[in-house]
Amino acid sequence: MQERLEKVLGEYGRSPADLIPILQHVQDEFGYLPQETMDGIAAHAGVPKSKVYGVATFYTMFRFEPLGRNHVCVCRGTACHVRGADQILEHVQRHLGIEEGETTEDGEFSLETVACIGCCALAPVMTVNQEVHGRLKPKTATRTLKKYATADKEEGQ
Ligand code: FES
């Protein structure tokens, strides 16, 4: 991990102004921001570690856990909100047993929300691994998630 981190850091100047691009690049490299990279990032950018955490937690695009094998995004944009996105999200959270921004313990699902997926006519919408599922009802949302879990098991056989 250290070697990969140093390679990323080597592409940036030693300046606090580079902190966000560094965080983005580290996340692209590892799929998330591993705790083990925080010291190195802070030292390179010349800022305290608390500042690195502060910036990384301020922006929703950054995550501290790896994504699950199935990445679920529930849309909370206006069109979806009007058509019951909150209920969909609540159902999905209950079904998976995780909150927004978390990954299930078995690493199978991670859950995020987005502002708009661009398929407002299909509201309410969620994506699983970038496949769009629209006109959802709470039950169809959980049924969809079960299909992905099943598909994974079948692939593994
Ligand atoms: S608001 Fe949900 S897809 Fe646009």
Question: If you average pLDDT over residues 81-110, what whole number do you get?
Answer: 94
Q: Which atom of ligand 1 is nearest to the CA of 79?
A: 1
- Domain formed by 2-58, architecture: Orthogonal Bundle (1.10)
137 C-alpha vs ligand 1 centroid, how far in Å? 15
Task: Give the span between the Cα atoms of 97 and 75, in whole angstroms.
Answer: 18
Model pLDDT for residues 7-64, shown as the tens digit of each residue: 999 999 999 999 999 999 999 999 899 999 999 999 999 999 999 999 999 987 898 8
Residue ranges of the chain assigned to CATH 3.40.30.10: 70-156
Half-sphere exposure of 60 (CA within 13 A, CB side): 8
Give the chain's mean pLDDT: 92
Nearest CA to ligand 1 atom 1: 77
pLDDT band of residue 86 (cuts 50, 70, 90) is very high
17 C-alpha vs ligand 1 centroid, how far in Å? 33
Dihedrals φ, ψ of 110, to 5°?
-125, 155
Q: Where are the alpha helices (H) located in the chain, listed in sequence order?
A: 2-9, 19-30, 38-45, 49-58, 78-82, 85-96, 138-156
Entry pTM: 0.72
The pLDDT score that the predictor gives to residue 155 is 57
Residue ranges of the chain assigned to CATH 1.10.10: 2-58
The pLDDT score that the predictor gives to residue 116 is 95
The CATH H-level superfamily of 70-156 is: Glutaredoxin (3.40.30.10)
pLDDT band of residue 149 (cuts 50, 70, 90) is confident
31 C-alpha vs ligand 1 centroid, how far in Å? 25
